Amino acid sequence: MAKISPFAPPDLPALPAIEGVRLAACAAGIRYPGRTDLLLALFQPTTTVAGVFTRSKTASAAVEWCREHLRHGMARALVVNSGNANAFTGMRGREAVKETAQAASRVADCLEADVYISSTGVIGEPLDPGKFVGRLVELADRAEPDAYQMAARAIMTTDTFPKLATRSCEIGGVTVTLNGIAKGAGMIAPDMATMLAYLFTDAAIEPAALHEVMAPLVEDSFNAITIDSDTSTSDTVLLFATGAAAARGAPRIAHGDDPRLEGFRAALFDLMRDLAHQIVKDGEGLTKFVKVTVTGAESKAAARVIAKSICNSPLVKTALAGEDPNWGRIVMAVGKAGERADRDRLAIWFGDIEVAKDGERASTYEEAKGAAYMKRPEIDIAVDVGVGEGRDTMWTCDLTKEYIAINADYRS
């Protein structure tokens, strides 16, 4: 296996229980024997759900299933398997999803439509649900409210550490909790990866309002990260709100613009961004965690395009790996983005070091300073393109020989 990310936390956070959520996981032998690869989450009957999925035109059968059933917005069970993405598996793939939903609906005593499903792992291999649906009864029996670490492990593929985070906030004077788990190491590595995140809260929020709060927050959290520019067939973010806090006096919120959601929105965004950063920090083969801020663009969208161009450039990423303050490659990446930029007003900073100004190397810049800065594990790059007020920030990692080893040597 790949070596552990240098950004892996020394201790995993212990997530508190969330009333109305129970979790269990086991090793079902879906691809590798002895590897925890099946997660079941059970929710109390008042649980609402919101989700955001991959924009891939070759989305997996499980993503199609979730998209369709999200419309009614209620959830009683979540089943996630790793080891097989059940993507590009034709009619058999759809049947595997249906069979999983049936089995989960029996153990959760709910409608099939209340079951949410994700699969992650190799693409194009038929997924045999017979391998794991029989295990769901046992998982339901021993599901517990505090099994988040085991749950986070069950959804890992090329991840080198489980990703967990928790926050709390008040809604109408009542404290509610938000927990999240995520996986992802290549933005997608179809052999054995993809980005999945599951968020849980005891807040009481109607489905439409839940979607209205959560969906826009994806833009600057999970959509603001890129490891290798590739897009999964299975990327999924699901937020389950059990409503259990209502019994403690929390209001049931019906509208996304309800001012009582202010603290919740902030806590949810913070949780999502934390998990997103953890995904980057487990980027395949990484040695650097890199923040790229673009200002002075025509709009936020233009700034995003430029930031993404910098983050995805193999030449910028290899320079970062080489601890090379090669700002010429940043100029190149701005130029190729296609958005308006004033070459002769372009400015670049590494942290507080002004590198380029007014379209050429800053007179105060010294290569030795830039080289020293690049030795840090966390790098801040800021670029002003000098044409407007648009700004955006993205996070990425470097591109190393280890990335190639992980992705070129995996099956060979």
Catalytic positions, written as ranges = 194
- What is the phi-psi region of residue 379: left when phi exceeds 0, alpha when psi lies from -120 to 50, beta otherwise? beta
CB of residue 56 vs a second copy: minimum separation in angstroms?
A: 4
CB of residue 378 vs a second copy: minimum separation in angstroms?
A: 18
Q: Is residue 405 within the footprint of a second copy (CB under 8 A)?
A: yes
- Please work out, in degrees rounded to the nearest 5, the angle formed at the alpha carbon of residue 193 by the alpha carbons of 217 and 101: 80
Residue 379's beta-bridge partner residues? Answer: 290
Number of helical (H) and strand (E) elements in the chain, helices listed first? 11, 18
Q: Is residue 401 within the footprint of a second copy (CB under 8 A)?
A: yes
Binding mask 261-300 for a second copy (x = CB under 8 A): ----------------------------------------
Collapse the DSSP code of 107 into the 3-class scheme (helix H, G, I; strand E, B; otherwise coil) and give the result: helix
CB of residue 289 vs a second copy: minimum separation in angstroms?
A: 17
Residues within window 354-373 making contact with a second copy, judged by CB under 8 A: 356, 358-361
d(C-alpha 93, C-alpha 72), whole Å: 23
* 183 known ligand binder: yes
Binding mask 112-131 for a second copy (x = CB under 8 A): ----------xxxxx-----
CB of residue 261 vs a second copy: minimum separation in angstroms?
A: 33
Q: What are the residues whose beta carbons fall under 8 Å from the beta carbon of 223, sequence distance 6 or more? A: none
**Distance, first Cα to last Cα, the chain:** 14
* 118 known ligand binder: no
The secondary structure of residue 180, as a DSSP letter, is E
Report the residue from 229, 293, 299, 393 that binds a second copy according to the rule CB under 8 A.
229
Is-contact 233 93, C-beta < 8 A? Answer: no
Q: Measured from the CB atom, is 81 or 242 closer to a second copy?
A: 81
d(C-alpha 349, C-alpha 370), whole Å: 9
Residue position matching structure tokens 């299933």: 65
* 194 known ligand binder: yes
Is-contact 152 231, C-beta < 8 A? Answer: no
Residues within window 311-340 making contact with a second copy, judged by CB under 8 A: 312-315, 318-319, 321-324, 326-329, 331-340
Residue position matching structure tokens 């395949």: 284
* 317 known ligand binder: no
Q: Measured from the CB atom, is 343 or 376 closer to a second copy?
A: 343
CB of residue 121 vs a second copy: minimum separation in angstroms?
A: 10
* 120 known ligand binder: no
Binding mask 69-98 for a second copy (x = CB under 8 A): ----------------x-xxxx-xx-----
Binding mask 183-212 for a second copy (x = CB under 8 A): ---x-xxxx---------------------
Q: Is residue 403 within the footprint of a second copy (CB under 8 A)?
A: yes
Tokens of 405: 């080893």
CB of residue 124 vs a second copy: minimum separation in angstroms?
A: 4
Q: Measured from the CB atom, is 170 or 191 closer to a second copy?
A: 191
Q: How far is CA 58 from CA 54, 63, 224, in A?
A: 9, 10, 22
Residues within window 335-354 making contact with a second copy, judged by CB under 8 A: 335-341, 343-344, 346
H-helix or E-strand containing 225?
A: strand 225-226
Binding mask 133-172 for a second copy (x = CB under 8 A): ----------------------------------------
Q: How far is CA 256 from CA 206, 216, 264, 266, 316, in A?
A: 9, 11, 11, 13, 40
Is-contact 166 198, C-beta < 8 A? Answer: no
Is-contact 40 26, C-beta < 8 A? Answer: no
Report the residue from 18, 28, 50, 59 that binds a second copy according to the rule CB under 8 A.
59
Question: Any alpha helices (H) in 281-378, and if so which ranges?
Answer: 300-312, 314-321, 327-336, 367-374
Q: Measured from the CB atom, is 32 or 410 closer to a second copy?
A: 410
Residue position matching structure tokens 């807040």: 203
Q: Measured from the CB atom, is 21 or 297 closer to a second copy?
A: 297
d(C-alpha 334, C-alpha 324), whole Å: 18
* 284 known ligand binder: yes
Mark the binding-site residues for substrate, compressed into ranges: 157, 183, 194, 284, 407, 412
Mark the binding-site residues, compressed into ranges: 157, 183, 194, 284, 407, 412
